[in-house]
Amino acid sequence: MEERQLGKTGYRVSAIGFGAWGIGGGLWHGSHDEQSAAALRAALESGCNFIDTALAYGDGHSERLIARTLKEWKRRVTVATKVPPKNQTWPALKGVPLNAVFPADYLKRCAEQSAANLERPVDLLQLHVWRDEWLKDAAWPAAIKTIEDLIAAGTIKAFGLSINDHDPASALNAVRSCDLVSSVQVIYNVFDPTPARELFPLCRERRVGVIARVPLDEGGLTGAITAETRFADGDFRASYFSGSRAAEVAGRAEALRPLLMEEAGSMAEGALRFCLSHPAVSTVIPGMRTVEHARANCAVGDARTLSPALLTRLEAHAWPRNFYPKPSAPRRFPLSAIIGTLMLALWVVLGFIVPLGAGWVHLLFAAGVLLVIRAVVTGES
């Protein structure tokens, strides 16, 4: 297995890392701990030495399962985890202050919880969501100080960011200006190659490591999704591949199949080789819950990249879209609803004093009704 440098962290990580979202269960149905642990062991035996997990994956279950499995593994493994947003909103929304998402005491609590779940210091602590506007937030210095204290205390060893889905430009300023950021994690695959435009050149310049996530488009780039594919309610893929999306993904994947198969034995292999062909990428982290997938994926980390000619032809298959659920905007102060209701109340009171025929009383009534309707239509409450 080829090893690459993970930015400024000093870690040498395997080209294929282990994406541990699925083994946490929760939003991924069909996970079985024994099978997941066997998949992780198979990956380690095949040379994988990097694991990406998160406190949110099965509410710590992924971290604890990794800890259990690593007990029997004697060689060095780098484990990265993530602090979930306190407001439980993925991705982070514009205008929401840092203190609502990553207040300093919460960062510390989560890092300590992850270290306890993993039964070891956290090699790389990532923020699970990010917005560059937080660099100017009044709470940012306290957050940075907390990260530095956690490093000094040995609870964590390095710090990085997980970038919002399909929005690689949203962390450019952090990569450019924050020395503490050693790595970024970003969606990078045949359908979404946009990180290669600005983010990857900047990461190379700033020696920031790149963890390429969702390399298989949640399964879409393996060719396994067909027009008939349906997932159970509660599995996040039921919404990701909902309605006509499964058929659309299947059509796009079939168009890609002959190209990827020119230089790979399977679509999954071709999709992983695509990611590893970019020199900025430190490691690619497919999710894998079976021994078969783990062995097949790790075999791709042999340092063979796709040819420049094929990479150029794949560019035509980029497909900008976002199938992840959109978080709802925070509810705004219901000013128009309150003013409208007060106007209507005043109209009722005045109705006892002023003759109802007075034009301005009717105007008050109309304005009140309009304000309440506006609040309902615009979602204010």
Ligand X SMILES: NC(=O)c1ccc[n+]([C@@H]2O[C@H](COP(=O)([O-])OP(=O)(O)OC[C@H]3O[C@@H](n4cnc5c(N)ncnc54)[C@H](OP(=O)(O)O)[C@@H]3O)[C@@H](O)[C@H]2O)c1
Q: Which of 16, 200, 293, 311 binds ligand X (CB under 6 A)?
A: 293
Q: If binding is defined by CB under 6 A, does position 301 make contact with ligand X? A: no
Q: Where does 154-290 have alpha helices with state H?
A: 172-177, 199-206, 236-240, 245-262, 267-276
Q: Which of 15, 20, 92, 111 binds ligand X (CB under 6 A)?
A: 20
Site for ligand X in 312-351 (CB under 6 A): none
Return the number of the residue (8 or 82) whose C-beta is nearest ligand X: 82
Q: Which of 40, 118, 288, 371 binds ligand X (CB under 6 A)?
A: 288
Q: Which of 195, 270, 287, 301 binds ligand X (CB under 6 A)?
A: 287
Other CB atoms within 10 A of residue 257 CB: 13
Label residue 361 exposed, middle or buried (CB < 10 Å: 0-12, 13-18, 19+): middle
Residue environment code for 306-329, b if the CB has 16+ CB neighbours within 10 A, otherwise e: beeebbeebeebeeeeebbeebee
Shortest Cβ distance from residue 348 to ligand X (Å)? 51
Spell out the long-range contacts of 133-136 with Cβ–Cβ below 8 A and sequence spacing 24 or more. Answer: 133/94, 134/98, 134/101, 134/102, 135/173, 135/174, 135/177, 135/178
184 token code pair: 């970024």
Return the number of the residue (20 or 175) whose C-beta is nearest ligand X: 20
Neighbouring-strand partners of residue 110: none
Angle between helices 33-45 and 61-70 (to 10 degrees): 50
Q: If binding is defined by CB under 6 A, does position 289 make contact with ligand X? A: yes
Q: Which of 7, 19, 160, 195 binds ligand X (CB under 6 A)?
A: 19
Site for ligand X in 248-277 (CB under 6 A): 268
Site for ligand X in 189-248 (CB under 6 A): 213-219, 222, 224
Site for ligand X in 120-159 (CB under 6 A): 128
- In the stretch 62-101, what mask flags binding to ligand X with x, by CB under 6 A? --------------------x-------------------
By Cβ distance, which residue is nearest to ligand X?
Answer: 287
Shortest Cβ distance from residue 311 to ligand X (Å)? 19
E strand residue ranges, the chain = 3-5, 12-14, 18-19, 50-52, 78-83, 124-127, 159-162, 181-187, 209-213, 283-284
Return the number of the residue (295 or 374) whose C-beta is nearest ligand X: 295
Q: If binding is defined by CB under 6 A, does position 166 make contact with ligand X? A: no
Q: Which stretch, 14-22, 200-208, 252-260, 303-311, contacts ligand X (CB under 6 A)?
A: 14-22
Under a CB-based contact definition with an 8 Å cutoff, are residues 111 and 82 in contact? no
E strand residue ranges, 61-146 = 78-83, 124-127
Report the C-alpha gap between 365 and 331 in whole angstroms: 26
Peptide bond into 91 cis (omega under 30): yes
Q: If binding is defined by CB under 6 A, does position 297 make contact with ligand X? A: yes
Q: If binding is defined by CB under 6 A, does position 168 make contact with ligand X? A: no
The site for ligand X (CB under 6 A) is made up of: 19-22, 52, 82, 128, 162, 185, 213-219, 222, 224, 268, 285-290, 293, 296-297
